Structure 1
Amino acid sequence: MTSTPSSSLPTDPTPSGTDRDVQGSDLVDWDFAAAAASRLVRPGPRAGRGEIEDLVAELRVAGERAVDPVATTARMQTPAGTPPALVVDRPGWIRANARSMGAMLAPVLDEVVARKRESDRHKARSAGRSLPQVGDTAQKVGATVTGTEVAGILSWISTKVLGQYDLAPQGTPRLMFVAPNILGAERELGVEPTDFRLWVAMHEETHRVQFTAVPWLRDHVVGRARSIGAEMMPEPDQMSQRLGEVLTQLPGVLRGETDVTQVLATPAQRERLAEITAVMSLLEGHADVVMDEVGPQVIPTVADIRRRFDQRRKGAGNVDKVLRRLLGMEAKMRQYRDGAAFVRGVVDEVGVDGFNQVWTSPDTLPLPTEIADPRAWIARVHG
């Protein structure tokens, strides 16, 4: 399988063994997380060199073939000059996402560190002593422990993702196809490989169109995600209390009675989460609708693929379901369903061009209550 080129994140310039102020980037060792996850992850289904080369080549072609049908179906155009899709293996996906997660979370973690530093300063002033600094070696150990936890999450998710439009807060967004996962899924489903690969490409190409044809959308989504992430980080003195609350609610999460994000959030934060969840439901549902609406003239077996794929989503084993609930991925499955129903409901009433008014500004994105009530969105936006 091909992969994204390996590149190192900036290293800490502070000499080993010295004391210094902690930065947000110190809280997670992203290099360590990526390397550890790459060692942990299974390589994927067995395949000969020739089959792998054919798969990679066909996925690249599928990425190109998806452009015109998606643009025609969605009635949206991606600007010229966007980079072609990358075909990656699981370690390639891990490296790319470790970089993106680090860039996405950097401002959030900086705020956590700032809160902690201000709390420590307040306590030090009250006690009449100077502000202590954290030793570089001690902080390195803490970051590595956190990196280990991230590695476990990355390694598991890397076996599930078929494709992704990486928003890459640190650089250039890029469309990716995870070749071993696509190969494994098409074998498991027993679908026609060429059709399935193009079908997956349609979904991911729709995401690329969303974020490139709508210039403000990327910054809006990244900004909202960072904002709610910073809000959900508890104050330093509340860490133990919040941990106790999470542990108390954990059985309900495992039984599927509540969502992990609901456990971690306060009532006010749940409202903010509902807003960004509505946007993600729109994006995922829109991509699902477009990938199906291209029709059998482009993908002859599209109806059979959709039927089998939906059955696969429902048929996860017990361990897989528990992990999905712990990582909040069950909620993502609902986003596909709810968002697709919203998109179809709006298109049925006002057509594709009427639906595309959703991309006018942040104010025309669906509210949480409107995802389940497309006519409410139509009444608000179209009058």
Structure 2
Amino acid sequence: MNQWIDWDVALSTAKALTPAGPPVDPKKAARIVAQLREAAEIGLEKAERISRIPATGPAEVLVVDRAGWAKAVSQNFAAMMPALPQSPPTVPVIAGAELGAVLSLLSTRVLGQFDPYSGSRLLLNAPTITQIRGEMNLNAKDFYLWIATHEQTHRLQFEAAEWIPGVMRETLASVFAESNGKTRSMSDIAERMKTLRHEVSELTSIMSVLEGHAMAVMNDVHDIATIKTIRQRFAARGQNRGVIATWIGKLLGMDAKARQYERGEKFVRQIVEDRGYAGFNEIFKARENFPNAAELDDPAQWLHRMA
């Protein structure tokens, strides 16, 4: 398949630049992997119970190192991207190298990711989870469950609204539609995205709600004994935005604008308070049920429209 980005270059760059993570002896590493897998299983049960969204199919759980995470995420991006109608005049090495550098950075920040594009699979980034847990001095099992519940909520979202991945593909297709097969750098991609105000506004609203909903659900797991400590310490660090949301944010110059995702959580909280999680789930039934930018800031408008 002809692609806009040289994925081999992206992956090799990410591997070259990405630090391995904290040193862990083999026995401890095996225990962490087992605990993360257990957390993923329990986290799905918590996410289903709180969100009132049942899982509809199997999903693979991958506990990976940072190199494995970069490989899986590059596969995710490749599956999202539109194909070129013909071979590019030059191999898109620049964009691949730039994306690889971004992946190397994100691999040290992003704890988990649900990938609906290249197979239904949940990725847990073990070295970064271990490093962040140690830096914050958090209870391991509690933290693992909190993170896993967040990522499993994303799984349930995509299963409940199978149209969502198509929106990303549509937006990216629009970004590349007028490039005439020319190699594009990440800055070129960003500039093109900024001209697509309607498409990008819809996409950021959707991502804000998805992240806000996942944060609301994970913070409603009240039987996690140390959840208050986790929330307080993690809030000081910054929210666990998914890799797609973080990447789009970087392209649009939104990397530091956590407010976009705080808006999402506030919106979700108000709808859940008014209608409960079951009532909130109407949002996943159709694309037009998601809020526009104005409704995201004023949930009463959305409630009135959906009455």
Q: Give TM class, smaller chain.
A: 0.7 to 0.9
Q: Paired residue for 1:57, among 34, 37, 43?
A: 34
Pairing 1:123-162 to 2, within 5 Å after superposition = 134=89, 139=90, 142-162=91-111
Question: Shift of the alpha carbon at 1:329?
Answer: 5.4
Aligned to 1:374: 299
For residues 327 and 40 of structure 1, the distance between their equivalents in structure 2, rounded to whole angstroms, comes to 23
Structure 1 unaligned segments of length 5 or more: list them: 1-22, 117-133, 248-259, 315-323
Q: Aligned with 1:165: secondary structure? A: strand
1:28 equivalent to 2:5? Answer: yes
Question: Shift of the alpha carbon at 1:148?
Answer: 1.9
CA contact (8 A) 1:192 1:301 kept: yes
Q: Paired residue for 1:211, among 133, 139, 158?
A: 158
Q: What are the Cα deviations for residues 265-290 of structure 1, in whole angstroms up to 9, with x where unaligned?
A: 22xx1122111111111110000000
Aligned to 1:334: 259
CA contact (8 A) 1:37 1:94 kept: yes
Pairing 1:94-113 to 2, within 5 Å after superposition = 94-107=70-83, 110=84
For residues 199 and 208 of structure 2, the distance between their equivalents in structure 1, rounded to whole angstroms, comes to 14
How well do the aligned residues superpose, as a CA RMSD in angstroms? Answer: 2.8
Q: Aligned with 1:87: secondary structure? A: strand
Q: Paired residue for 1:200, among 147, 153, 170?
A: 147
Q: Aligned with 2:108: secondary structure? A: coil
Aligned to 1:175: 122
For residues 360 and 143 of structure 1, the distance between their equivalents in structure 2, rounded to whole angstroms, comes to 38
1:226 equivalent to 2:153? Answer: no
CA contact (8 A) 1:284 1:335 kept: no
Q: Aligned with 2:81: secondary structure? A: helix
% same residue: 36
| Amino acid in structure 1 at the alignment position of 2:131 | G
| Amino acid in structure 2 at the alignment position of 1:229 | L
Aligned to 2:18: 41
**TM-score, length of structure 1 as denominator length:** 0.71
Q: What are the Cα deviations for residues 307-347 of structure 1, in whole angstroms up to 9, with x where unaligned?
A: 11010118xxxxxxxxx756745267334311110011111
Question: Shift of the alpha carbon at 1:43?
Answer: 0.1
Q: Paired residue for 2:210, among 283, 287, 293?
A: 283
CA contact (8 A) 2:136 2:233 kept: yes
Q: What are the Cα deviations for residues 98-156 of structure 1, in whole angstroms up to 9, with x where unaligned?
A: 1121121133xx26x69x9xxxxxxxxxxxxxxxxx5xxxx3xx333432222111111
Aligned to 1:304: 229
Q: Aligned with 1:175: secondary structure? A: strand
| Amino acid in structure 1 at the alignment position of 2:127 | P
For residues 84 and 105 of structure 1, the distance between their equivalents in structure 2, rounded to whole angstroms, comes to 22
Q: Paired residue for 1:350, among 275, 292, 305?
A: 275
Question: Shift of the alpha carbon at 1:234?
Answer: 7.3
Structure 1 residues 92-101 or 176-185, which shifts more? Answer: 92-101
For residues 257 and 61 of structure 2, the distance between their equivalents in structure 1, rounded to whole angstroms, comes to 23
Question: Shift of the alpha carbon at 1:88?
Answer: 0.5
Q: Which has the higher contact order (CA 8 A, sep 6+)?
A: 2
Bigger CA radius of gyration? 1
**TM-score, length of structure 2 as denominator length:** 0.87
For residues 105 and 234 of structure 2, the distance between their equivalents in structure 1, rounded to whole angstroms, comes to 20
Q: What are the Cα deviations for residues 173-210 of structure 1, in whole angstroms up to 9, with x where unaligned?
A: 20110000100111111111111111000100101111
CA contact (8 A) 1:262 1:270 kept: no
Aligned to 2:219: 292
Question: Shift of the alpha carbon at 1:221?
Answer: 2.5
Aligned to 1:16: none
Query: Cα 1:349–1:146, aligned 2, differ >3 Å: closer, same or farther?
Result: closer
For residues 293 and 42 of structure 1, the distance between their equivalents in structure 2, rounded to whole angstroms, comes to 34
Structure 2 unaligned segments of length 5 or more: list them: 240-248
